[in-house]
Structure 1
Amino acid sequence: MSTAKVKQLVLNSQEGSFELPRPEDNWILKADQGYSPVQMVAAATTACGGYVYQEILTNSRVQFEMQKAEVSYTRDEVENPAHPIKTIEITFYLRVPAEDQKKATSCLRLISRHCPVMQSLDPQIQVTEKEVFVD
């Protein structure tokens, strides 16, 4: 017996693209008009990882101020004709006092275990996280 709650989104088809309706404006999910679905996967992985990292830092009593997160990704252009995502590299830029930086780095290893988006990705996708401490 499953206890999973079903969540639903409806994407509207609009002139050859799909749009995710929002009250202010729709998110267009097509590369030449908005963000491609592949870009959205990379962005969702980064955002989810960032939320999880912040929660881990807070629970570990690390003082921090998250500045931004950057993501780069590669696609398998050779082996698979669908060109799936092959790697995702996330870089978090944050302020952390010098005495907490080692602990903040150690917390990175916990992100993938607690991030539902990362847990939902194909296991062949290699996700790496790193931090850059800013002044």
Structure 2
Amino acid sequence: MKFTMKEQGFTSELPYGSLDVSGNEEYGFRPYQLLTASIAVCSGGVLRSVLNKMRLPFEDIAIEAEVERNEALANRVEKIHVHFIITASDIDEKKVHKALELTRKNCSMVQSVLDSIEVTETFEII
């Protein structure tokens, strides 16, 4: 990836489109938002794949992510909690727990931050 400076941040041209990054969210995505999104969406994609491979029927997955930052240490991201809301009419909760364990082991973004950011996951079935 190549980033070029602009007045209020940096930009990159990618195959899907432009990515504007700035410390001020009026001018682009903030770096911590991109980090959080990477972890949440990587986990969601892996979870979808695992559920499909386990042949567990579901209709939708929504993701909520909460971030805890440490102002005393440069606003460092210390914890990201990822909550999956799985829409399914007939799914075994114990098997979803197993799917979440496999998701954590196979999500490259979670594995990349494992020793520096606490990542927790929960789910609910609606």
TM-score, shorter chain, exceeding 0.5: yes
What is the Cα deviation at residue 133 of structure 1? 1.3
- Residues 2-30 of structure 1 show CA distances to partners (whole Å, capped at 9, x for unaligned) of xxxxxxx1112111311121467522111
In 1: Cα distance, 2:15 partner to 2:106 partner: 30
Higher strand share: 2
In 2: Cα distance, 1:64 partner to 1:112 partner: 19
Structure 2 length-normalised TM: 0.86
The answer to whether 1:89 aligns with 2:81 is yes
The answer to whether 1:109 aligns with 2:101 is yes
Calculate percent identity across the aligned residue pairs: 26
Could you tell me which runs of 5 or more consecutive residues in structure 2 were left unpaired when the two chains were aligned: none
In 2: Cα distance, 1:24 partner to 1:102 partner: 37
1:102 maps to a residue whose letter is: K
Find the partner of 2:37 among 43, 53, 61: 43
In 1: Cα distance, 2:59 partner to 2:119 partner: 23
What secondary structure is seen at the aligned counterpart in 2 of 1:26? strand
Structure 1 length-normalised TM: 0.81
The answer to whether 1:14 aligns with 2:11 is no
Contact 2:56 2:91 in 1 (8 A): no
Could you tell me which runs of 5 or more consecutive residues in structure 1 were left unpaired when the two chains were aligned: 1-8
